[in-house]
Structure 1
Amino acid sequence: MKPRGMKKWRPFATMPEQYIGLKEMINKQAEVAQSVLTEEQMEEMNSTLIEVLHTNKQAYLTYYKQGQCITETGVIEFVDSLGELFIFIDDIFELKNKMRLSELIDIRLV
């Protein structure tokens, strides 16, 4: 007797709508709510942000984007406290990323 292997599931490969729907459902289940920071956490992040900005050291940035918490390594290039924006250059692709300070969850020195 010869096992069928993956041939058994081949008929379902003809329904791409099913895969799209399943992917959307999995992504919705993986979403997390944006955490609310305390005053103490915000002050600690502010001091670390200032230190990273003035010393050009790399830092781990954790931020909230589209229902996910993402952590990247990068260097802070610019902080606009009035516009509540900051620009950081990621370590991998060396791209400039513009983000809101309200999306920032955590920042730590490397």
Structure 2
Amino acid sequence: MKKQMGRTMVKWQPFASLPTQYEGIRDLIEEKNKLPRPILSDYQKEEISRVLQEALETQKTVHFTYYKNGMDLNEMGEISKIDLHTNTIVFIDVFSYQNIHKVEDIIDVRFA
């Protein structure tokens, strides 16, 4: 009886490794799909700065794109604070959640 139970465990052991293989394959696909960080011109940086400052003063809703972990992500909401010491912005999204983003990660900002 012991030999049979031991054999069944050995028989099914290769299938136990499949989830980790799928995780590895998924990680490879995600790594392949990552985008390089965009390089902004001085004009683009100045335009982003101008729009952020105007959005802070007027409390207008903005739509901005930022770079994070190899992806370009989009958000919409209001700028509540620009912190020059940490070079970050505090952003309140449409669900009233407060988010903090580095200014250097922002790719594009437009008024909604």
Aligned-pair distance for 1:82? 2.8
Alignment root-mean-square deviation, CA: 1.6
Q: What CA distance in whole angstroms lies between the structure 2 residues aligned with 1:59 and 1:81?
A: 19
Matching residue's letter, 1:108 = R
> Following the alignment from structure 1 to structure 2, what is the Cα–Cα distance between the partners of residues 97 and 35?
22
Choose between structure 1 and 2: higher helix proportion.
2
Structure-to-structure mapping, 1:3-82, within 5 angstroms: 15-82=18-85
Larger radius of gyration: 2
User: Structure 1 residue 103: deviation in Å?
Assistant: 0.7
Name the SS of the counterpart of 1:71 in structure 2: strand
Q: Distance in 2 between matches of 1:25 and 1:55?
A: 44
Counterpart secondary structure, 2:52: helix
**What amino acid sits opposite 1:63 in the alignment?**
Y
Q: CA offset at residue 14 of structure 1?
A: 7.2
Q: Unpaired segments of 5 or more residues in structure 1?
A: 1-11
- Structure 1's consecutive aligned runs of 4 or more residues displaced over 3 angstroms after TM superposition are none
TM-score by length of 1: 0.82
CA distance in 1, matches of 2:108, 2:26: 29
Q: CA deviation at 1:47?
A: 1.0
Tell me, which stretches of 5 or more residues in structure 2 are unaligned?
A: 1-14
Provide the identity percentage.
Answer: 34
SS of the equivalent of 1:19 reads helix
Residue of structure 2 equivalent to 1:102: 104
Question: Deviations along 1:65-98, whole A, 9 cap, x unmatched?
Answer: 111110111111100123201110111x321111
**Superposition TM-score, scaled by structure 2 size:** 0.81
